[in-house]
Amino acid sequence: MSLRPTRRPSLRRAFCRQLLAIAGTSLLLHASATAAEPPVIGDTTLEAQLQQALHGSRVPAIAAAEIRAGQLNRLAVAGQRRNDGQDPVQLGDRWLIGSNGKPITAALIARLVDQGRLAWDTPLAELLPELKAGMHSAYRKVTLLELLSHRAGLPENVSDLKFFERFAHDRRALPAQRLAYVSRALRDKPIAPPGSKISYSNTGFILAAVIAERHTGRDWETLMREQLMAPLGMDSLAFGTTGAGEPRGHLKGKPALRPEDSNPLMFAPAGNVSMSLQDWARFCLDQLAGARGEGRLLSQDSYQRLQSLRAGALPASQKTPAALGWGVQASVAGRPGPVLLHGGSDGNWFALVALFPESGDGALVVANAGPDMGGEQLVSQVFVSLLPPKP
C-alpha cells in the first residue's frame, strides 16, 4: 500500500507526512509501561552512534530508543537544543512527535469505549447530532472505527487553508476551535465513499477528539491527562510544540519560534503533542504488553482493535491494513512482522516508530529538524540501525 503525502505551498504550514521509503521498503507511517520498568540510563554506545550520525549534517539534535523483548534496552540523546546556541539536549527533554500522536489519540478513544462512554459502531449523526444538518450526507453513517482507520472518506485536512491558518492565533477555548474546524471540514465532499478505502486524514482524529469531548464533558487535553498520562506515568506529555529552554524544531536553517511555524494547538489530537523519549517509550511498551495480554491501559479487545493483528479483531466490513491509529505491515526493511508503524512531522521535526508485537522489539527516533534540513534522512538512517537484526 502507498499513500502520497500532501505537499503544501510552505513548510511553515506543513502537515504530518505519512510515507517514507526506508532501505527499499515502503512504510505506512502513522507511534507501556510494564509492571516493573527498567531504569532509563543514557547509553554511551548509542550516544556515540548518534553523535556520529549528526556529524556533517544540518540537524541540531536527535534522540533514539531501542526496545528489545518488551523492555527499554537503550536510550540516548545527542546534539544541541538550538542550532544558534550551545545548550546540549538532555535525556528528559521533550520532543515533538507529530502524527505519532495518532495511536495515542486512538488509545484514548479505546479507553472511553472500554468504560462504556463511547461505542465503536455509533454513526456520526448520532455522535454529533448538532452537526448532522450541516455535514455532507455521506458522513452521517461514519463510525469511530472508520475515523481512526482513515476509512471515513475525509480529505487529509480541511480544504480552506486560509480558514485553517487563522487557528494559529485563535484565542477561543480549544474545544470551541476544534468544533469550528470539524463543522467546516464536514462540509467538504468525501474523496472516497466512506468505508471503501484508506484515505489518510488528520481531520478524522480531530473529529474523534470532538466526539470524546461532547460525550464526557471534558476537553481532550484533560482526558489525555486523566486517561493516559496518569495511568502510564507520562508526566512530560504536553500539547503543542516545545518552549524556551527545551529543544526547538528547526526550519530553513533556523529555530522555528513563531506560532504559525507549526500546527495550531487545536490540532493536537491529530499529532501536535510533545513529550520525553522515555514517556513515548512508556506508551509503546504498553502497546507491546497489550499485544501479549499484559497491557495496563486497555481491554484485550481494544488492544486487538488498535493493532489489527489477529483474525476477528475487527468486523469483516472494517478490516484494513491501517489499524486504529497505527499502520500495519508484514515487514519493514527486511525484518518480518507484523510491525506497527508511524511517523510524523510538522515540517520542523521528524519522528519514526516501529513496534514488533510478536517479539516485543521496537525502535523510536526523533530529530529537531524537518525534511528541508535533512531530519527525515538522518532519522531514517538511525531508525534502520535500531531495528531488530534480520533473520
What CATH number does the domain containing 237 carry? 3.40.710.10
Minimum mean pLDDT range among 37-46, 89-98, 221-230, 255-264: 37-46
Confidence of residue 317 (pLDDT cuts 50, 70, 90): low
Mean pLDDT of 144-149: 95
Look at the chain and report how many structural domains it folds into: 1
The answer, yes or no, to whether residue 5 has pLDDT greater than 80, is no
- Tell me which residue range forms the domain holding 346: 11-386
Q: What percent of the chain has pLDDT over 90?
A: 81
Spatial CA neighbour of 72 closest among 267, 284, 226: 284
- In-domain check, residue 228: yes
- In-domain check, residue 237: yes
Mean pLDDT of 284-290: 98
- In-domain check, residue 3: no
Distances (CA, A) of 292 to 186, 264, 288, 309, 360: 38, 37, 7, 11, 9
Classify burial at 367, counting beta carbons within 10 Å of its beta carbon; exposed 0-12, middle 13-18, buried 19 or more. buried
291/201 Cα distance (integer angstroms): 26
pLDDT in the model for residue 24: 37
pLDDT in the model for residue 315: 53
pLDDT in the model for residue 55: 96
Phi, psi dihedral angles at 269 (to 5 degrees)? -60, -25
- In-domain check, residue 391: no
Report yes or no: 21 and 342 within 8 Å, Cβ to Cβ: no
- In-domain check, residue 152: yes
108/99 Cα distance (integer angstroms): 15
The answer, yes or no, to whether residue 12 has pLDDT greater than 50, is no
How do strand 25-28 and strand 273-276 relate by DSSP bridges? unpaired
Asked if residue 338 has a cis previous peptide bond (ω within 30° of 0), the answer is yes
Report yes or no: 62 and 53 within 8 Å, Cβ to Cβ: yes
- In-domain check, residue 251: yes
Confidence of residue 196 (pLDDT cuts 50, 70, 90): confident
Tell me the sheet residues that pair with 356. 361
pLDDT in the model for residue 20: 37
pLDDT in the model for residue 87: 97
- In-domain check, residue 1: no
Phi, psi dihedral angles at 347 (to 5 degrees)? 95, -15
28/18 Cα distance (integer angstroms): 6
Mean pLDDT of 47-52: 96
Confidence of residue 63 (pLDDT cuts 50, 70, 90): very high
The answer, yes or no, to whether residue 34 has pLDDT greater than 80, is no
Report yes or no: 31 and 273 within 8 Å, Cβ to Cβ: no
| pLDDT tens digits, 14-24 | 333 333 344 33
Helical residues (DSSP H) of 83-160, grouped into ranges: 102-114, 124-127, 144-148
- In-domain check, residue 368: yes
Q: What percent of the chain has pLDDT over 70?
A: 86
Q: Average pLDDT of the chain?
A: 88
More confident residue, 391 or 233: 233
Mean pLDDT of 321-342: 90
Please provide the distance, in angstroms rounded to a whole number, between the alpha carbons at the two ends of the chain: 24
